[in-house]
């Protein structure tokens, strides 16, 4: 479902931006690979941090009721999924690197030489950023495997830090990297969005019982509220800095994708408000079956993945300030 939603998001965003979607063009391959890579890296951030939602807390009744064996099983699932998402992120980053090198050189993907690819990853900003992504994702995967083998090892904090650094490397190498203030907005925007989307996805994948949801979901809701605020403010700030006017924003492919992404954000905020009002309290009282909770989470995650697909296409569109100059 996640893969299909990501493909749908990229396709819609390409059509909105005016990019032709036909055949296996390097540009289209790069867009889909970037969306898949970002989705995997967001999941990696979520899986590396999701253990915090079920942390021990003597003041939390649900956390006190969570048995040691259940908590251990939760963390075991967390590390396994983290290893898978990190490896997938590294693989898709490699595909994105090859397709991007093909776009820059003008060569078909299968005709790209090793020398051209080496020049891309060593001399082009995007190539160097993708090298960081691949290396960082592999390191996180190694930490996850080490935690599976030796559960006593504490790799959560380093894994979160490296996951976040890997995630923001590519966005900072693309649009907005020419101005330090805009780069700050982009970094904050990406990190907040990753925690918001990634934590919910990770919780949906790892929580298996009502008590795990009763402990984790209210804590996620608190984090999500701050993340939504940061995502909205940083997104507005970045859009203002990158656009001369609202008319210029609407007239450009970049602007139309930004507006479509903003629409998805508003939908997520309204949906999150409704969930918080009608869903969080029953879950915290163990009154909602875990299957129902996972199903509801899947709906919100699907919209989030659509937004990630839109974000991936932003790198392929021309910023409005560039058009007007």
* Of 244 and 31, the one with more pLDDT: 31
Dihedral class, residue 6 (left if φ above 0, else alpha if ψ from -120 to 50, else beta) = alpha
292 vs 194: which has the higher pLDDT: 194
Q: Tokens 């903003």 appear where? A: 262
> In terms of pLDDT, which residue wins out, 267 or 65?
267
Can you tell me whether residue 322 is helix, strand or coil? helix
Question: Per-residue b/e over 110-149, b at no fewer than 16 CB within 10 Å?
Answer: eebeeeebeebbeebebbebbbbbbebbbbbbebbbebbe
Contact 216, 296 (CB under 8 A): no
**pTM to 2 decimals?**
0.84
Q: What share of the chain is helix, strand, coil (3-state, %, to 5)?
A: 85, 0, 15
| 18 neighbors 44 (Cβ within 8 angstroms) | no
Distance (Å) of CA 78 to CA 13, 156, 184, 206: 32, 10, 30, 6
Q: Indicate the pLDDT class of residue 324, thresholds 50, 70 and 90.
A: very low
Q: Quick check: 119 and 54 in contact, CB under 8 A?
A: no
Averaged pLDDT for residues 212-220 = 86
Q: Is the pLDDT of residue 210 over 50?
A: yes
Cα 270 off chain centre by: 20
Return mean pLDDT, the chain: 80
Residue 223 contacts residue 181 (beta carbons within 8 Å): no
- Report d(CA 97, CA 257) in Å as an integer: 23
Confidence of residue 192 (pLDDT cuts 50, 70, 90): very high
Model confidence at 177: pLDDT above 90: no
Residue 205 has pLDDT above 80, yes or no: yes
Cα–Cα nearest to 123, from 97, 146, 149: 97
Q: What per-residue confidence (pLDDT) applies to 72? A: 79
Q: Measuring CA to CA, which residue among 162, 201, 186 is closest to residue 304?
A: 201
At 322, is the pLDDT very low, low, confident or very high (cuts 50, 70, 90)?
very low
């Amino acid at each position: 479902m996640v893969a299909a939603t990501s493909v749908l998001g990229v396709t819609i965003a390409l059509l909105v931006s005016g990019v032709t979607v036909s055949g296996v063009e390097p540009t289209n391959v790069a867009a889909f690979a970037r969306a898949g890579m970002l989705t995997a890296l967001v999941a990696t951030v979520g899986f590396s941090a999701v253990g915090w939602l079920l942390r021990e807390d003597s003041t939390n009744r649900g956390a006190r009721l969570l048995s040691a064996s259940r908590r251990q099983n939760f963390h075991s699932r967390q590390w396994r999924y983290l290893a898978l998402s990190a490896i997938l992120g590294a693989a898709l980053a490699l595909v994105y690197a090859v397709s991007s090198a093909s776009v820059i050189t003008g060569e078909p993907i299968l005709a790209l030489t090793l020398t051209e690819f080496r020049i891309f990853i060593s001399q082009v900003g995007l190539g160097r950023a993708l090298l960081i992504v691949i290396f960082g994702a592999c390191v996180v995967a190694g930490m996850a495997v080490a935690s599976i083998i030796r559960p006593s090892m504490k790799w959560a904090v380093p894994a979160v830090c490296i996951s976040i650094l890997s995630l923001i490397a590519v966005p900072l190498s693309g649009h907005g990297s020419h101005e330090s203030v805009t780069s700050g907005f982009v970094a904050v925007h990406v990190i907040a969005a990753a925690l918001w989307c990634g934590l919910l996805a990770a919780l949906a994948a790892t929580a298996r019982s009502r008590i795990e949801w009763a402990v984790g979901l209210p804590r996620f809701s608190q984090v999500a509220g701050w993340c939504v605020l940061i995502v909205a403010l940083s997104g507005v700030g970045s859009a203002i800095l990158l656009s001369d006017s609202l008319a210029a924003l609407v007239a450009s492919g970049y602007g139309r994708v930004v507006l479509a992404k903003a629409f998805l954000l508003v939908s997520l905020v309204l949906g999150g408000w409704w969930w918080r009002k009608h869903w969080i309290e029953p879950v915290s009282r163990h009154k909602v079956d875990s299957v129902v909770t996972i199903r509801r989470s899947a709906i919100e995650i699907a919209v989030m993945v659509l937004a990630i697909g839109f974000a991936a296409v932003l790198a392929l569109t021309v910023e409005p300030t560039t058009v007007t100059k």
